[in-house]
């Protein structure tokens, strides 16, 4: 019960902090940019910590490193977008200033594709697809037998 109260209090604290941020900054788009960057930095920190705790050369560590690269490019995209709003690049400077942001988000998606393919390979290597099918058919057979027994009674 105490853990649930802590979660609710934490959630309310975050909401209060966001309301204060929106009031202080005034511009919602900039506020959202700051929040996005903050969560992005936190995600990068936790992912770096995870990489350090995983076995060198393991498939999970490689996958986590790809995830980290994706996070970094998405964080760069968020920083670039927020900076473009702060500096007024969308209005005052050539649209070419927006292209680095497009590069960052495109690079993130390309790395996501590579990470997804790696996850597919890991699933084939470590997955239990055939065993899951056998287990599923056993469970279905037991359900059918239970229904037959219930009808017989």
% of the chain at pLDDT higher than 70: 89
**In 3D, which of 133, 131, 151 has the Cα closest to residue 141?**
133
**pLDDT score, position 78:** 94
**pLDDT score, position 153:** 63
Task: Say how many Å lie between the first and final Cα of the chain, rounded.
Answer: 43
pLDDT digits (tens, 9 = 90+) for 109-136: 999 999 998 888 887 777 666 666 677 7
**pLDDT score, position 106:** 94
How far CA 63 is from CA of 50, 59, 122, 124, 128, in Å, comes to 11, 6, 9, 14, 19
Residue 40 contacts residue 85 (beta carbons within 8 Å)? no
């Amino acid at each position: 019960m105490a853990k649930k109260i802590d979660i609710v209090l934490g959630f309310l604290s975050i909401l209060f902090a966001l309301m204060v941020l929106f009031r202080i900054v005034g511009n919602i788009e900039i506020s959202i940019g700051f929040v996005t960057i903050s969560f992005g930095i936190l995600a990068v920190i936790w992912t770096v910590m995870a990489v350090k705790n995983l076995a060198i050369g393991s498939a999970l560590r490689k996958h986590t490193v790809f995830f980290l690269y994706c996070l970094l490019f998405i964080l760069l995209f968020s920083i670039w977008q927020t900076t473009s709003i702060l500096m007024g690049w969308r209005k005052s400077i050539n649209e070419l200033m927006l292209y680095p942001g497009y590069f960052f988000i495109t690079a993130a998606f390309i790395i996501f594709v590579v990470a997804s393919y790696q996850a597919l390979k890991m699933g084939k290597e470590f997955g239990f697809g055939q065993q899951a099918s056998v287990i599923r058919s056993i469970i279905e057979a037991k359900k059918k037998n239970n229904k037959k027994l219930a009808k017989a009674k």
